[in-house]
Amino acid sequence: MNSSIVITLIIAACLTLTACEKPEQEQLTGVRAYDLYLLIGQSNMAGRGVVAHVDRTGNPNIKTLNREGEWVPAVDPIHFDKPIAGVGPGRSFAMAVLKQNPSKTIGLIPGAVGGSPISSWEPGGYHEPTDTHPYDDALERARIALRSGEIKAILWHQGESDSNETLAPLYKENLIQLIERLRTDLDNPDLPVLIGQLGQFEEKPWNEWRMMIDKAHREAVQELNDVFFVPSDGLSHKGDTLHFSAEASREFGERYADVYRDATR
């Protein structure tokens, strides 16, 4: 066979092989490139706002890890802790972060459990009403998600269940231990943690125990590196003086994103 023909065939074969391999390589790179965010706490992180059409519109660059551990479009409700799960801050947080970094692909890891006290957010901790182990379950889901990227931050909103005379005095120590434990278990000692402030509703003024929880949140920010506070001033409830409305939850997510942006500049 003519040597020039042989060379031509070899080049064509190489080009064909490269073309066949390239899509797989791009897909793998794309999956590994997810920026991951762990959403944990109780009902106001899980979301209880009424879902509207705007909350059901997906974005190809925003995914969420579903109950089966699969990446699916992030539409509300993102969480599945209870049948009443609705609009929370997670999706609007992701949309705001994506707006700041349009080239990114964001993966949300829903792990919040409505009604869970901070005592259930430790290894082996059990929440009987939902028959879940909030800490263990969230950590397992985070490790599944880590196959697809890197956890960039933890979003935490919790404290309502601990706002009483028995649990509130223990809250600060438990919160600091939780943050340190998460960073150790996720092998990321500098992982940013964003703490959302509890709801402030005129119809239900804070008692001393709710104030103690708020103080613990603020002091954790002061005492630990890379922990940040997200204020809830002016956010409305959905009519129950406990859960943020859908509109307020969307706004809260944007506030989380603003704090995260300022913290990571």
- What's the pLDDT at 18? 35
Sign of CA pseudo-dihedral 217, 220, 222, 225: negative
Of the candidates 50, 95, 56, the residue with the CA atom closest to the CA atom of residue 75: 56
Residue found by looking up tokens 């259930």 in the block: 120
Residue 15 C-beta-side C-alpha neighbours within 13 Å: 6
Say if residue 24 is in the same domain as residue 41: no
Say if residue 108 is in the same domain as residue 222: yes
The residue segments making up the domain with residue 249 are 34-263
Instruction: Report the distance separating Cα 32 and Cα 177, nearest Å.
Output: 30
Say if residue 28 is in the same domain as residue 111: no
Say if residue 75 is in the same domain as residue 143: yes
What SS3 class is residue 237?
Answer: strand
Say if residue 91 is in the same domain as residue 21: no
pLDDT tens-digit readout, 74-130: 999 999 999 999 999 999 999 999 999 999 999 999 999 999 999 999 999 999 999
- What's the pLDDT at 24? 32
- Angle between the N-to-C axes of helices 168-185 and 134-145, in degrees from 0 to 180, rounded to the nearest 10: 30
Say if residue 134 is in the same domain as residue 208: yes
Q: What is the mean pLDDT of the chain?
A: 90
Say if residue 17 is in the same domain as residue 55: no
Say if residue 103 is in the same domain as residue 214: yes
Residue 183 has pLDDT above 90, yes or no: yes
Global pTM reads 0.88
Say if residue 165 is in the same domain as residue 100: yes
- What's the pLDDT at 33? 87
- What's the pLDDT at 32? 55
Decide if 221 contacts 229 (C-beta within 8 A).
Answer: yes
pLDDT tens-digit readout, 195-231: 999 999 999 999 999 999 999 999 999 999 999 999 9
Number of compact structural domains in the chain: 2
Say if residue 62 is in the same domain as residue 137: yes
CATH, residue 79? 3.40.50.1110
Residue type, 203: E
